[in-house]
Amino acid sequence: MVGWRLTPLHPGRPKQSSAKTREKAGVRNLRHTKSNPKVSNFLNSEGFFRYMCVKLCRNELTLDVSFWFQQITRKTADNNTYEKLYEEIALDKRWFPLLDYLTTFGLKESHFVQIYERHTASLQINIISAKERLEYLLSVGVKQRDVKRILLRQPQILEYTVEKNLKPHVAFLIGLGIPNSRIGQIIAAAPSLFSYSVENSLKPTVRYLVEEVGINEKILGKVVQLSPQILVQRIDISWNSRYIFLSEELGAPRESVVKMVTKHPQFLHYSIYDGLLPRINFLRSIGMNDAEIVKVLTNLTQVLSLSLEDNLKPKYTYLINELHNGVQSLTKYPMYFSLSLDQRIRPRHKFLVALKKAPEGPFPLSSFVPTDESFCQQWAGTSVDTYLAFRQQLLLKRFAEKYEKQG
C-alpha cells in the first residue's frame, strides 16, 4: 500500500534511526498518502480505524505509522465535536473556537446552520474580534439572553468593527434623546440598524420624520423607543400610503394621523388592507361614523393592532350584553378596548355586582380605568386583597368551565 509501512517489530532487529527522524518520515508518508484518493478513502474508513486499533494494541506499528494514526484519531475527535453540523454544512474546524464561544450565548448547532445559510462569512470571523464586538454590545446594555436572537436576525453584526460601526450607531441613538438604559433594548429590537449608514440613511430618515411627517423633534426619541423599526423602513412610502388611505377613507386630518404615528408608530408597519381596513370596518359595523372612528384611532391607535376575533368582538359583546352600554361610550372611553376582558373588565364588573354596588343603568366604564388600589377605594370600598381573591376565584371558575367544554 502506498505511503505507509506496517511491519512487525522484531526484538532482535537493530533500530538505527532516531525518534525525530522516524517522526519526520511519518509526516512525509502522511503527505504522500493524501495525494492518492483511493488510499485516502481507505484510511478514513471505519474498517481501517479498527484495524489500526488492533495493531496499536499489539504494539505492531512502526513509529511513523503510529504517529500517523495519532493524527487521524485527533481529527476524528474534532469531527465528533460538531458531528451533526458536519452533516449540514461545509464546516471548517478553524471555526471551532468561535462556535464554542457562541454556544455560551445559547446558540446550538441548528442555529449555526441558520447563520451559515444567511451569511457564511460571519462564521469565519476570528474569536478575538467576535468577543470584542459582542462584549461592547453587552457593555451598552444588550442583555446576554438577547445575543442569540440578535445573531440569528443579523449575523453580520460579528463583522462590524467597534470603532467604525458600533460606536457611531450607539452615539446616533443617544443623540436622538434615547436614554442609555434603553440602548440595549433598541439594538435587540432592530439589530439591522447597524447595516445602515448613519450619515446616508439614518439621519435622512430622522429629518423626514421631523420635517415631512411633522413629529416634534423633542419627542422623537420616545417615538423610536416605541418602534425602533421606524429607523430602518422606507418611511416615505409607509407614511404617504397610510396618510393618504386614512385621509381618503375616513377624512382624517393630517394632525390626527401625526398623533397616531406619535402614539403608536407601529401602525406604519401594518398592512392597509389586511390590518387597518378590517378594523375600521368593524368600528363602522357597530355603529360608529367616520368622525368617531378618527377620534377613537387618534386617542387609542393601538386598536389597529388588536385581534378582531379574540379582542375587539368579545369586548364589544360584553359591553352591550353585560354592561348595557352603547357604542357612544367607546368614543369617550376608547381605552376600554385596550383593557383585558378576563383580568380587569369582567372581574371588576362582577365584583361590584356581587357587592351590590353596581349602579343601575349603563355600567360606568370609568371604573375600569384606575389601578386596583384606586378601584377598591373609590368604587368597591374593600381591601385590594379581597378583590384579588375574588378575581382569582372567578378566573379559576372560568378556566374550569372552558376545560369542561373542551372535554
Q: Which three cell numbers stand for residue 315?
A: 369586548
Mean pLDDT, range 27-32, rounded to an integer = 44
Q: Among residues 361, 292, 279, 278, which one has the least CA distance to residue 328?
A: 292
Q: What pLDDT is attached to residue 281?
A: 97
Say if pTM beats, i.e. exceeds, 0.75.
Answer: no
Residue pair 275/304 in contact (Cβ under 8 Å)? The answer is yes
pLDDT of 357 strictly over 50:
yes
Contacts of 336 (CB under 8 A, 6+ apart): 315, 319, 329, 330, 345, 365, 368
Kindly report each contact of residues 43-50 with a partner whose C-beta sits within 8 Å and lies 24 or more positions away, as own/partner: 43/72, 44/72, 49/76
User: How confident is residue 230, by pLDDT bands cut at 50, 70 and 90?
Assistant: very high
| Higher per-residue confidence, 333 vs 64 | 333
Residue 381 CB coordination number (10 Å): 11
Q: What pLDDT is attached to residue 46?
A: 53
| Higher per-residue confidence, 246 vs 29 | 246
Q: Among residues 164, 163, 137, which one has the least CA distance to residue 148?
A: 137
Choice among 1-5, 76-80, 121-125, 227-231 with the minimum mean pLDDT: 1-5
Mean pLDDT, range 112-121, rounded to an integer = 92
Measured in degrees and rounded to the nearest 5, phi and psi for residue 43 equal -65, -30
pLDDT of 2 strictly over 50:
no
Q: What pLDDT is attached to residue 53?
A: 54
Q: What pLDDT is attached to residue 407?
A: 60
Question: pLDDT for 296-324, tens place per residue?
Answer: 999 999 999 999 999 999 999 999 999 99
Q: What pLDDT is attached to residue 275?
A: 95
pLDDT of 111 strictly over 90:
yes
Question: How far is it, in rounded angstroms, from Cα 366 to Cα 358?
Answer: 13
Question: How far is it, in rounded angstroms, from Cα 319 to Cα 97?
Answer: 60
Choice among 36-40, 94-98, 226-230, 382-386 with the minimum mean pLDDT: 36-40
First-to-final CA distance of the chain: 71
Q: Which three cell numbers stand for residue 159?
A: 463583522
CATH class of 82-212: mainly alpha
Q: Which three cell numbers stand for residue 87?
A: 452533516
Question: How far is it, in rounded angstroms, from Cα 164 to Cα 382?
Answer: 60
Name the maximum alpha-carbon separation found in the chain: 114
DSSP one-letter string for 329-341: HHHH-GGGGGS-I
Q: Which three cell numbers stand for residue 152?
A: 440569528
Residue 283 CB coordination number (10 Å): 23
Question: pLDDT for 253-280, tens place per residue?
Answer: 999 999 999 999 999 999 999 999 999 9
CA atoms within 13 A on the CB side of 181: 0
Question: pLDDT for 370-407, tens place per residue?
Answer: 999 999 999 999 999 999 999 999 999 888 887 777 76
Q: What pLDDT is attached to residue 89?
A: 85
Q: What pLDDT is attached to residue 74?
A: 45
Question: pLDDT for 139-153, tens place per residue?
Answer: 999 999 999 999 999
Residues of the chain with CATH 1.25.70.10: 82-212
Mean pLDDT, range 184-203, rounded to an integer = 96
Question: How far is it, in rounded angstroms, from Cα 360 to Cα 365?
Answer: 13
Q: Specify the length of the chain in residues.
A: 407
Contacts of 359 (CB under 8 A, 6+ apart): none
> Please, what sign has the CA dihedral across residues 349, 350, 355, 361?
positive
CA atoms within 13 A on the CB side of 67: 18
Question: How far is it, in rounded angstroms, from Cα 69 to Cα 46?
Answer: 13
Question: How far is it, in rounded angstroms, from Cα 249 to Cα 239?
Answer: 15
